[in-house]
Structure 1
Amino acid sequence: MEIIERLEKKFPNRLELNFNTPFELLVAVVLSAQERDEKVNKVTGELFKRFKTPKDFAEADLEEIERSISSVSFYRNKAKYIKEISSLLVEKYNGEVPKSLKELSQLPGVGRKSANMILYNAFGVNEGIAVDRHVLRVSQRLGLTKQQKPEKAEQELMKIVPREDWGKFSNLMILLGRYICTAQKPKHWECPLYDLCPSKDL
């Protein structure tokens, strides 16, 4: 709780991806795999003017989607995922993004981490903790887990972080890892958790 309280004073409890609807967040999360949020936001700014709904993406030519997202990494695979996801949403979910971890994580290009991220940030639902590379690294440095695999780390973190704070914890830890507790040369002097950190002298 102390960690969360301190981080809340330093960072906003939100993702850096721009979105207005759950579907826009879903698309942005797919595009953000191994890509900077800044670049994704630049692409989606134009993309969502052209394609507004799952039906729009489902009916579009794959090549047209590819051209619209060609500046992001692995754009061909991501275009395929987005078109497949959109078709599934239209056919199976009446064009709506499902609100369960099981259904979301079964969509093409969406794993458990992404599903957790979407559930909390789009719907305020806490079904798990989104453990990306930043959350994993910072959690290890803070001594919250020794696990190397995100799925195992998530299970440990879910036992010590109150359920109502799971999504918030992930959002805040992502920002801490991105801007202060970086992989190389962490900025100890800027860290609000410095005095709590068992790794500060390493």
Structure 2
Amino acid sequence: MARQLDYHTIREIFTRFQAAEPEPKGELEHVNAFTLVVAVALSAQATDAGVNKATRALFQIADTPQKMLDLGEDGLIEHIKTIGLFRQKAKNVIKLSRILVDQHGGEVPNSRAALQALPGVGRKTANVVLNMWWRYPAQAVDTHIFRLGNRSGLAPGKTVEAVERAIEDHIPVDFQLHAHHWMILHGRYVCVARKPKCAACLIRDLCEYEEKTL
């Protein structure tokens, strides 16, 4: 785990991220808040590309909680059976759809606690939805952000919660809205797990990682 970078270094890193990609976007396809919740819930231990492939046809016929209930668990399974853990995920999506209809008038709530009360929705999923749909500066820490935060010194921490706090505490507020997307994309495509692409990294001179590749 690298040491925590100082304010000016972090500011320079995010200035470079912003210059390279002013409006970073999440890669999960969705058409409204409900389909975003479903897509993020389905993405646990699965790739965004795999989820998108499964949900394109699904969201054409079930883009509201009531339509998802009308489709039913078996109908849902037919659409998502290429995704890992699809049976349990199907149960969760039907349960959360029922809760949204019965308790929230079919609308997706925009508080973290209410989102986390939905089956299959943890803190990371809630933070993704709050950030992507309501543009709240919530930090959803996945494996890519955890790795990048610790390697680089941007947000070191031994747990996901510690990395989330480090991002909130150390990254300047004017970069907070897009911070998790910049970090996810950098971790997914450049600072990869086995052999990071340090030669192509736009922050390599500022990063604390000691085992940089040539």
| Deviation (angstroms), 1:156 | 2.0
SS state of the match for residue 29, structure 1? helix
Counterpart position of 1:94: 105
Partner Cα separation in structure 2 for residue 27 and residue 189 of structure 1: 37
Partner Cα separation in structure 2 for residue 163 and residue 102 of structure 1: 23
Letter in 2 for 1:184: R
Match of 1:78 among 80, 89, 95: 89
Counterpart position of 1:23: 34
Match of 2:182 among 172, 175, 179: 172
Runs (4+) of structure 1 exceeding 6 A deviation are none
Letter in 1 for 2:20: K
Calculate the aligned-residue CA RMSD, in Å: 1.5
Partner Cα separation in structure 1 for residue 61 and residue 32 of structure 2: 15
CA contact (8 A) 2:42 2:89 kept: yes
Partner Cα separation in structure 1 for residue 169 and residue 63 of structure 2: 39
CA contact (8 A) 1:137 1:183 kept: yes
| Deviation (angstroms), 1:129 | 1.1
CA contact (8 A) 1:130 1:167 kept: no
Structure 1: which 5+ runs fail to align?
A: none
| Deviation (angstroms), 1:68 | 1.3
| Cα-to-partner distance string for 1:74-123 (whole Å, 9 max, x where unaligned) | 10011111101111111111111111111112211111111111111011
CA contact (8 A) 2:127 2:140 kept: yes
Counterpart position of 1:43: 54
Counterpart position of 2:147: 137
CA contact (8 A) 1:121 1:167 kept: no
Partner Cα separation in structure 1 for residue 211 and residue 79 of structure 2: 46
| Deviation (angstroms), 1:50 | 2.0
Q: Which moved more, 1:163-172 or 1:21-30?
A: 163-172
Match of 2:68 among 57, 69, 88: 57
| Deviation (angstroms), 1:200 | 4.9
Counterpart position of 1:5: 15
Letter in 1 for 2:156: K
Letter in 1 for 2:149: S
Q: Percent identity, please.
A: 36
CA contact (8 A) 2:16 2:202 kept: yes
| Deviation (angstroms), 1:4 | 1.7
Structure 2: which 5+ runs fail to align?
A: 1-10
| Cα-to-partner distance string for 1:38-71 (whole Å, 9 max, x where unaligned) | 1111111110112121101123321111111101
Q: Does 2:119 correspond to 1:108?
A: yes
| Cα-to-partner distance string for 1:9-32 (whole Å, 9 max, x where unaligned) | 334511011112111111110111
Partner Cα separation in structure 2 for residue 170 and residue 69 of structure 1: 27
Partner Cα separation in structure 1 for residue 171 and residue 15 of structure 2: 12
Counterpart position of 2:158: 148
Between the two proteins, the alignment pairs up a number of residues equal to 201
Q: Which moved more, 1:185-194 or 1:52-61?
A: 52-61
